[in-house]
Amino acid sequence: MVNHKRVYRRYRDEGLGLRRKRPKRRRAAIARAPRPAVNRPNERWTMDFMSDALANGQQLRVLTVLDAYTRECLALEAAGHFRGQDVADVLTELGKRRGLPTVINCDNGTEFTSRALDHWAWAHQVRLDFSRPGKPTDNAMIEAFNASVRRECLSEHHFSTVAEARSCSGPTPTTTTITGHTAA
């Protein structure tokens, strides 16, 4: 008689580590291949969100988009909240001005995993490369840039409205749509 306990004991004795079932997740649980190096501008973009609060306590979200090769800030968009369609609209505007990349790195936020953004990526032939959950180092360039924006802008200015955050300008990257600003 062979049951699951005996099979498990044999696997353990042999040092095998096969799982009986695949984990229930939205994306396939497969080994991640290393990312190829970026060789030219506009080949790979990276994007993420930052959250802050206005003076009255209302939430402020800032979408940041960088070119991975030139480390140029392509967009800083501020709003109270974003949907996947809002992100797609920002990327469409960037594509009109600059052309679209072949790959965009992003995390697993609800705005980035939405059907609207997935449909936009399919229609524009852009591959969305999601970082692993709990691994901010997969998208380290945008995380470092967000830390600079938070240190130089969001921590030094207190905005009372979203419109004020959108129209803010100065020597630091505080405007909402900046072209040509280089990320340190």
Extents of the domains making up the chain: 44-182
pLDDT at 66 over 90: yes
Q: Dump pLDDT digits (tens) for 127-180.
A: 999 888 788 888 888 999 999 888 888 878 888 888 888 876 433 333 333 333
Please state, rounded to an integer, the average pLDDT across all residues of the chain.
82
Nearest to 103 by CA among 14, 39, 23: 39
Nearest to 97 by CA among 69, 65, 143: 65
Question: What are the tokens at 128?
Answer: 């969305």
Q: How far apart are the first and last CA of the chain?
A: 66
Mean pLDDT of all residues in 30-54:
84
Distances, alpha carbon 39 to alpha carbons 2, 95, 166, 167, in Å: 56, 19, 33, 34
Q: Per CATH, is 44-182 categorized as 3.30.420.10?
A: yes
Percent of the chain residues topping a pLDDT of 90: 38
pLDDT at 124 over 50: yes
Question: What are the tokens at 108?
Answer: 């697993």
Q: Dump pLDDT digits (tens) for 89-123.
A: 999 999 999 999 999 999 888 888 889 999 999 99
Question: Tell me, what's the pLDDT at 181?
Answer: 38
Lowest mean pLDDT among 48-57, 60-69, 133-142: 133-142
pLDDT band at 182 (very low <50, low <70, confident <90, very high): very low
Rounded to two decimals, the pTM is 0.71
